[in-house]
Amino acid sequence: MTKIAIVEGDGIGHEVIPVARQVLEVLHPTYDFYTVDVGYHRWEETGCPCADRDIAALKEADAVLFGAVTTPPMKDYQSVVLRIRKALDLYANLRPIKDSGFDVVIVRENTEGLYSGIEEIDADRATTLRVVTRKGTERIVRSAIRLVQNRHGSLTIGHKANVLKSDVFFRDICLKEAQAAGIPHNDKFIDALALDILQHPDMYDVVVTTNIFGDILSDVASYLVGGLGLAPSANIGDRHALFEPVHGSAPDIAGKNIANPIAAMRSAALLLSHLADDPGADLIEQAIQRTLTSGIRTRDLGGNAGTREFGDAVAHEISRLTRR
């Protein structure tokens, strides 16, 4: 039986993830869904946001559907997201940006770079070590190359090699791997790339870059599809996979039933694709589009539907589509 771990997280995660779970249950009622509770609220209650037993539970799943978690700016607070990525070795963060005129996947290295977690802070200085390894770079660019080969597209390598020696290292390894694979490729400075991908998204296919650059670039590119509330992501390793909306926990709107659940539902669609159910993933996207076309929209898209109401409408559309 396929096992799906559900992590609602914090804030609006408690609202959008149940909606995404609902559409998965419509399509796959026989899946074994189970809840794993982690996040800032757990830290407030117990002093531990993510315990060893929670990591063990996540490792038991065939895939994880993950909501946003709050990470407070406290030097003694361990990031739940970073711990899970490292514990499950989810080294490839895939962020698709797709609309009628373009189809881009940003492939972000997910376990090192400036998010290495190697930091020091004292009264007069704070230091974060940016780690770029040969192993980490080779496996992320090889993941990107496999995507290019499957999509029959091209690879763009994003970097800042004109300033950072670690990016010279990253760029050169990526270029060598792309040349060896015989795929079309080019490289761009990340700041120029951020502008150009907004102006000419149709010119890009697969983009690979380091951790923090990929984080920023994918958030910038989400503008092309309507913002963070619509953008999904996948975190992939050799043995485990986790799927989450790009947006944060948004505590300012939590509990108000106004959060847009589309990013969470699209993350559920990526989960199904990972489990080799592309038809199910396509049904989720079709149902979202049909719901929007019918005039049912959340407030951020100019409508008045709540999170639950929009989710119910999409689930209803999926049921209609599957009865055909």
What is the set of active-site residues? 115, 160, 191, 215, 219
* 3 burial type by CB count under 10 A (0-12 exposed, 13-18 middle, 19+ buried): middle
Q: Of the candidates 108, 103, 110, 44, which has an alpha carbon nearest to the alpha carbon of residue 77?
A: 44
Rounded Cα gap, residues 144 and 99, in angstroms = 20
Return the number of other C-beta atoms located less than 10 Å from residue 141's C-beta. 25
Return the number of other C-beta atoms located less than 10 Å from residue 180's C-beta. 10
Q: How far is the CA of 26 from the CAs of 16, 30, 31, 46, 274, in angstroms?
A: 16, 10, 10, 35, 18
Rounded Cα gap, residues 94 and 75, in angstroms = 28
Strands 102-109 and 206-209, by their bridges, are: parallel
Query: At what angle are helices 262-274 and 278-293 packed, to 10 degrees?
Result: 160
Q: How far apart are the first and last CA of the chain?
A: 26
Q: What angle do CA 82, 58, 40 make, to 5 degrees?
A: 50
Residue type for position 3: K
Take residue 59 and report the two structure tokens written for it. Answer: 């490792």
CB 36 within 8 A of CB 57: yes
Rounded Cα gap, residues 207 and 269, in angstroms = 21
Rounded Cα gap, residues 72 and 188, in angstroms = 34
Q: Of the candidates 247, 254, 262, which has an alpha carbon nearest to the alpha carbon of residue 311?
A: 262
